[in-house]
Structure 1
């Protein structure tokens, strides 16, 4: 499948014909045709190339969404513009009409930031109900073992209880520092920093190493890459789960 192709049921859902599940039912019932042939469940279609009809009526497919992952550096704002003239993430990514970020990273937080032209998917992925796992590595100073035990048990913040899915601790590169790795599913504002502050840890550096299936890997700070077909398929499954 090419980077712009998509499954027929997903295409129908993006075109607003029906939900993905209902679209599968339409295909299974033989009511959908691709280039004049009866569609098969799961077959791929190419926006702008393939002609699709449902009950004989043409369906206009929206252009395939663009997806990128940026390794956001510290000292860059997750916003479209800044009155103070500070650098924003949009100075580091391809110029695409309608490109938006999938959740924010605060000014000094680094790491995985997804951007897409699919605004609906961006909203769904960051909605509290999505429960998309996000992994962070916080370089901290303080009584980290006791703090980690508190975090594992759950910590009450002003906007609710935080209970990370996974917590681990390793010695940091600098003396008397630790790398605290947390996987959370909430995505509240400055959640990891507030969590660390609540348990008495000083955060020296914070990096998001993954968002759902998208890993930071070897991507250098300030660099961007397009998502792979596999990553896009996995994200699509999260959006439509």
Structure 2
């Protein structure tokens, strides 16, 4: 069963037109639901209700799909690359309207969510929602000192950043792993923060985005989200 939704969203998801244009058509009496004129903001069930625009019935929208990809290093988060490099869309199933939820830079690995629900993708990446992302950074330098400094904030060219959480553990002489959780998602934020702290980033992996964890998903592999993961994302 499709989720109940406002009439404007149902029209947009069915690929008929934009939400703004849909609202105009509803207001002008050109949309009906089960034979009655639709009202702006009316809630409908696209699988049960008969929705017509200018007398022509529209189909129910395709169910939204969610995937998590273990993005490898050396793959670009983009639909096309003028330099001919492999993109994340070369690694995932082809779906109309599929988009990624937050970028990972060329060298960064790990959790990348993809969905056919564009509105949800925008919501989850908007700074006001403060969705947490957790990274493991393998670095060279004084990782323990840098972690302590980061707790007080790090000044970058686009302003002060302060991780929600940061923990350091030594992995060798002059080598550390930093567990870093952020909620802003600025461009290359974790990598730039490490560099500003005098660390050399050897490897950077996003291990968690909201409730979705990387787990044992191999690089370049993709899986569908579980019902529990999708429900958790909807609550964010």
- TM-score, normalised by the number of residues in structure 1: 0.76
SS in 2 for 1:95: coil
Q: CA deviation at 1:200?
A: 0.6
Q: Distance in 1 between matches of 2:77 and 2:202?
A: 20
Give 2:40's aligned residue. Answer: none
What is aligned with 1:52? Answer: 49
Deviation digits for residues 161-193 of structure 1 (CA, Å, limit 9, x no counterpart): 211111111123x55311101000000000001
Equivalent positions of 1:13-92 (< 5 A) are 14-15=9-10, 50-52=47-49, 61-92=60-91
* Structure 1: gaps of 5 or more residues: 18-44
- Which residue of 155, 158, 182 corresponds with 2:180? 182
**Separation in structure 1 between the aligned mates of residue 234 and residue 107 of structure 2, nearest angstrom:** 29
Which of 218, 221, 231 is the matching residue for 1:220?
218
Change in 2 beyond 3 A, CA 1:175/1:87: farther
Q: CA deviation at 1:236?
A: 1.4
Q: Which runs of 5+ in 2 are unaligned?
A: 13-44, 52-56
Q: Deviations over 1:29-70 (max 9, x none)?
A: xxxxxxxxxxxxxxxx7x6xx41379xxx9964221111000
The offset of 1:15, in angstroms, is: 2.3
Per-residue CA deviations over 1:100-150 (Å, capped at 9, x if unaligned) read 111110000000000111111111111111210000000001011111111
Distance 2:58 2:123 in 1: 24
In the TM superposition, what is the alpha-carbon distance from 1:7 to its structure 2 partner? 4.4
Alignment partners' CA distance in 2, 1:212 and 1:59:
34
Cα distance between partner residues in 2 of 1:229 and 1:130: 21
Q: Is the 8 A contact 1:137 1:207 kept in 2?
A: yes
